[in-house]
A = this chain, B = another copy of it.
Amino acid sequence: MSGNTLGTLFTVTTSGESHGPGLMAIVDGCPPGLELCEADLQVDLDRRRPGTSKHATQRQEPDQVEILSGVFEGRTTGCPIGLLIRNTDQKSKDYSAIKDQFRPAHADYTYHHKYGIRDYRGGGRSSARETAMRVAAGAIARKVLAAEGIRVRGYMSQLGPIEIPFKSWDGVYDNPFFSADPDKLPELEAYMEQLRRDQDSVGAKITVVADGVPPGLGEPVFDRLDADLAHALMSINAVKGVEIGDGFACVAQRGTQHRDEMTPQGFVSNHAGGVLGGISSGQPIIAHLALKPTSSITTPGRSIDVHGNPVEVITRGRHDPCVGIRATPIAEAMMALVLADHLLRHRGQNAGVRVSTPVLGQCD
């Protein structure tokens, strides 16, 4: 299928550009009978929303989502759920200067070569604005998962050079960085202040965790759960790397060290990140993603125009100095979408499977 649809049974199809009239999504395959209202989606949208922190773009978008179908008297009907968010704070003329120029490290150059035409206003389809609909659709996936006791949460685990250890889920959603360590907040604030003064941007690392996932989700061999997670997470703007469990640390590990031993009391460790052979093991699913520093900065850079002439580009407009700061809700949404799809796929093929072997949790 074409590139703007994700999933097999539980699917989401999106459309919309940064400075067009609005964003749309159609979520198809949602199980019927689920309580759902716009407020369920708005909670997650508000966490991703621009204009809420001084460390993010100052574009003011209420991101008010409207459900146009698929819900009747407060419950899903099994029919496709249509979602609409109107764009309200476009300032398109900010972008006319770059109409014929390619911002370095931006998608301008590649869209131009692919399509021969591009909506240059705010990045068009390549803008991070597109991710609003991922979050809205992900909120529906979360409800599907919640009905099965599955919860997806994320936090920022590194900002530029600053590693942020996980301390507690409490308060993660209450600070603009999604830091799971409140003690790190002053350092993060200071870093961002300096970054602004430097007219620069920086990368970040996000960690996403799903708890309560039963063993069995994932379709070997190509549609493994970890492969589909890698696909979904890498499809987020600016993501350049994805790890499951120990990820690249595995390279230097030995088998005796990496393997997660099992006892009747549970798994002894979770180096695998909850996936074995492409199938969930019942342990928490853990993924890490690396986001690059955004290319939209006001420090001039060398580039060319559409005729091949050299130009010096300064990206004005309103941008995030660290796209990673708002990426946590997006990463959560993508993991939720993948898990919901695999939950349905697994049920479809294996509805009648019963095993007497106990499901292991994690040892203390």
Contacts and interface: CB of A to CB of B under 8 A. Distances in A.
Interface in A168-225: 195, 198, 200-205, 214-224
Interface residues of A, number: 170
A125 B221 contact: yes
A316 interface: no
A318 interface: no
Copies of this chain? 4
Interface string A254-273: 11111111111000100111
Given A250-B290, A290-B247, A293-B253, A259 B222 contact: no
A240 B8 CA distance: 23
A33 B70 CA distance: 33
B119 A79 contact: yes
Contacts of A235: 221-224, 227, 278
Contacts of A75: 117
Nearest to A304: B262
A336 to B, nearest CB: 15
A276 interface: yes
A329 interface: no
A189 to B, nearest CB: 18
A262 B160 contact: no
Contacts of A262: 102, 104, 109, 302-304
A220 B236 CA distance: 10
Contact of A112 (B84, B195, B357): B357
B347 A255 contact: no
A5 B28 contact: yes
A353 B2 contact: no
A202 to B, nearest CB: 5
A3 B341 CA distance: 12
A65 B291 CA distance: 38
Interface string A224-262: 101111111111010111111111111111111111111
A275 to B, nearest CB: 8
A361 interface: no
B219 A252 contact: no
A328 interface: no
Contact of A26 (B26, B234, B307, B356): B26
A105 interface: yes
A7 interface: yes
A36 to B, nearest CB: 12
A28 B2 contact: yes
A42 interface: no
A291 B17 CA distance: 38
A106 B277 contact: yes
A302 B261 contact: yes
A209 B204 CA distance: 25
Contacts of A142: none
A151 interface: no
Closest 8 CB pairs of A and B: A107-B277, A3-B219, A348-B348, A105-B259, A201-B255, A231-B231, A110-B279, A15-B82
